[in-house]
Amino acid sequence: MLDYKIRYLQIAFNYDLALVQRILPTIAFNERILIEAGTPFIKREGMRGIQAIRKLWRGTIVADMKTVDGALGEVDMAKHAGANALTILGSSPTESLNLFIARCAHLEMLSMIDMIGVNDPLAVMRPLKKPPNVVILHRGRDEESTRGKVIEYRHVNRIRSKYDVAISAAGGVDLKEARSAIFNGANIVVANLVQPGDAWQGILTTDPVGDIARKFLQTIE
């Protein structure tokens, strides 16, 4: 699954399948690269979009479904489509979180809890029967332009002191933020592919994405 001694880059595709088909083949396979089917991409393309990514990428695929309820069915759907990892919102009911984590473990998938909008991740994790594989500290794209809104790295040590989990940093991650994430103890940095004119940070779709991915890997190594 994940080696906690290794630092990973997760590249998020949030647009349409045409963009995936244009850019994904330019990214050289590397076990340290996770490819994300982003929430907007899944809403637009559905499970067929994940299946299409699987045809182009033999490594880890994260389905950013942000499950809230109906955990068993959504884990099964993602697995059937070819995903290796799946996200659920930390604001989901504890019952959903427990079902989600158990089902992911049963299907040998990575369970990821996205803490977007959650003030205290430990309050989410304490009632759980088992911890997830990954906790995502996430500054939402709508929050990026808000002065003072940051990825809450202060939670890294709090979480690690109690749980053996990987930490993922997401939300406006460029090379500078990636360095900060690794310095603060993250295992995974999530970089969004962004189009010119977008209001958030990431890797521009008009740039040589494969080359930039290599720079990210070197930066976070």
State pLDDT tens for residues 160-173: 999 999 999 998 88
In the structure encoding, which two tokens stand for residue 217, read together? 């890997």
Say what the pLDDT of residue 145 is.
66
The whole-number average pLDDT for the span 20-39 is: 97
Residue 142 reports pLDDT greater than 70:
no
Average pLDDT, the chain: 94
Say what the pLDDT of residue 34 is.
98
Say what the pLDDT of residue 172 is.
80
Say what the pLDDT of residue 184 is.
93
Say what the pLDDT of residue 128 is.
98
**Residue 1 in domain:** no
Alpha helix (H) residue ranges in 83-204? 94-106, 121-125, 154-160, 175-183
- The percentage of residues in the chain with a pLDDT greater than 70, rounded to a whole number, is 97
- Domains of the chain: total: 1
**Residue 36 in domain:** yes
The whole-number average pLDDT for the span 46-75 is: 98
Q: Which residue has the higher pLDDT, 173 or 17?
A: 17
**Residue 2 in domain:** no
**Residue 194 in domain:** yes
**Residue 24 in domain:** yes
- Burial class from Cβ neighbours inside 10 Å (0-12, 13-18, 19+) for residue 215 reads middle
In the structure encoding, which two tokens stand for residue 113, read together? 């809890």
In 3D, which of 196, 188, 177, 184 has the Cα closest to residue 158?
184
In 3D, which of 82, 123, 126, 78 has the Cα closest to residue 100?
78
CATH of the domain at 154: 3.20.20.70
Residue 135 reports pLDDT greater than 80:
yes
The whole-number average pLDDT for the span 175-199 is: 93
Structural domain that includes position 154: 8-220
Q: Which residue has the higher pLDDT, 198 or 74?
A: 74
Say what the pLDDT of residue 151 is.
83
The whole-number average pLDDT for the span 95-99 is: 98
pTM: 0.95
**Residue 162 in domain:** yes
Say what the pLDDT of residue 122 is.
97
Length of the chain: 221
Beta strands in the chain (DSSP E): 8-13, 33-37, 61-67, 85-89, 110-114, 134-138, 166-170, 188-194, 203-204
**Residue 3 in domain:** no
Q: Which residue has the higher pLDDT, 147 or 125?
A: 125
pLDDT in tens, 98-126: 999 999 999 999 999 999 999 999 999 99
Task: Kindly report which listed range (46-55, 76-85, 129-138, 191-200) carries the lowest average pLDDT score.
Answer: 191-200
